[in-house]
Structure 1
Amino acid sequence: MQLDAVIPRPTLSDVLTELGLGRPVVVTGTRGGPVMLCAAEETTPDQINLMATHARGLVGLVMTHKRAAELGLDLQPRSGRPGAPLYTRSIEAAKGTTTGISTEDRARTIRIAATGGKGDVITPGHIFPQVSDGDQNGVAETAIRLLAASGGQCAATICAILDDRGEVADTPTAQALARRLGLATVDMSQVRALTGPDAFW
């Protein structure tokens, strides 16, 4: 009997509930490949470790343009990569970190970026925020829509999911990982219809 036949697939409502509770979820179908993400303001060292260990990609941060402006973060210039993600300068929490790379330090930086003010982050650092380019198929836009719909703040912790060979994982591989870790999954196509309050962006 196939596993999908005995384990109900999570709904979009399930995913939003999980995000609202501060738990990670897996998103498939985005232009950049599948990602694991959670609400930035709820991010813990254990979640950073989970992402680094099992998703294996770069642990990063998505935030709204409004939030980036509140932190005083301008965009890194693009050079030779017109379709690259819109990254800001890298950041670190201004206080309470040591090397900046530990799971504790990265979790603190991410939480501060979601809830603090302009003087609470410094650059450069070990966290690389990106903002949405408006592409509804993109990772950043998908993450922001999910966060808005779940009642979260204006930022999400994200990590690309890689397979055993170190390549970007396909959808079945990402779904299998989610099942193994007990994480809810959602496809980007389900997220397109979600909107949040205008002030969120």
Structure 2
Amino acid sequence: MPLCSLEEGLEELKAGRFLIVVDDENRENEGDLVMAAEMVTPEAVNFCVTHARGLLCVPVIGERLDELQVPLMVIENGSEKNQTAFTVSIDYNVDTTTGISAGDRAATILAMMDSATKPGDFNPPWTHLSTAVPSRRSPGQGGSH
């Protein structure tokens, strides 16, 4: 699989395409299928859950999570091995159904990016879409999430 430069990767994301971002072999030693949240579609969500088969997760800055009143799932300095800052999972509840379909998950992701979305626009925690607070590290500084 060819590697690309940071600039090439950003161009791929801007074009709405996926990247596989591989983390440090001493951490989780995995690859994450990544795309720009603003470009997500039900087809992209379906591709992720069908082919990547892992946890569908959206990195969101802490300030936005505070605006939406989405709390962390694991306390800081807790027992989770890699200290990944996951939040409780959420579902968008405007014009969606159960939250599990690719369309509902795409709607949730897009709603999280929309500044007009309010905390009450999401169902109570423990639903279908996980979010994580990204680290403050720049790309290339190591680590993950």
TM-score, normalising length: structure 1 = 0.59
User: Which is greater in Rg?
Assistant: 1
- Runs of at least 5 residues in structure 1 that lack an aligned partner in the other structure: 141-201
Q: In structure 2, what is the Cα distance between the partners aligned to 1:58 and 1:94?
A: 21
Aligned residues: 134
Q: In structure 1, what is the Cα distance between the partners aligned to 2:50 and 2:74?
A: 31
The answer to whether the 8 Å contact 1:41/1:112 transfers is: no
Match 1:18 to one of 4, 12, 18: 12
Instruction: Give secondary structure in 1 for the equivalent of 2:43.
Output: helix
Instruction: Give secondary structure in 2 for the equivalent of 1:138.
Output: coil
Q: In structure 1, what is the Cα distance between the partners aligned to 2:82 and 2:93?
A: 31
Residue 138 of structure 1 is matched in structure 2 by 143
Q: In structure 2, what is the Cα distance between the partners aligned to 1:15 and 1:81?
A: 30
Instruction: Determine which structure has greater relative contact order: mean sequence separation of CA pairs < 8 Å that are 6+ residues apart, divided by chain length.
Output: 1
Residue 131 of structure 2 is matched in structure 1 by 129
Residue 113 of structure 1 is matched in structure 2 by 112
RMSD across aligned positions (CA): 2.1
Residue 29 of structure 1 deviates from its aligned partner by 2.6
1:74 aligns with 2:71: yes
User: Counting helix residues as a fraction of each chain, which structure ranks higher?
Assistant: 1
Cα deviations across residues 50-89 of structure 1 (Å, max 9, x unaligned)?
1112212111111111111111112123453263311112
1:38 aligns with 2:72: no
Cα deviations across residues 120-139 of structure 1 (Å, max 9, x unaligned)?
22222200111024464333
Q: In structure 2, what is the Cα distance between the partners aligned to 1:56 and 1:25?
A: 15
Q: In structure 1, what is the Cα distance between the partners aligned to 2:112 and 2:11?
A: 23
Letter in 2 for 1:17: E
Instruction: Give secondary structure in 2 for the equivalent of 1:122.
Output: coil
Which segment drifts farther, 99-108 or 22-31?
Answer: 22-31
Q: In structure 1, what is the Cα distance between the partners aligned to 2:18 and 2:81?
A: 30
Q: In structure 2, what is the Cα distance between the partners aligned to 1:107 and 1:117?
A: 17
Instruction: Give secondary structure in 1 for the equivalent of 2:33.
Output: strand
Residue 48 of structure 1 is matched in structure 2 by 45
Residue 166 of structure 1 is matched in structure 2 by none
Q: Percent identity?
A: 34
- Runs of at least 5 residues in structure 2 that lack an aligned partner in the other structure: none
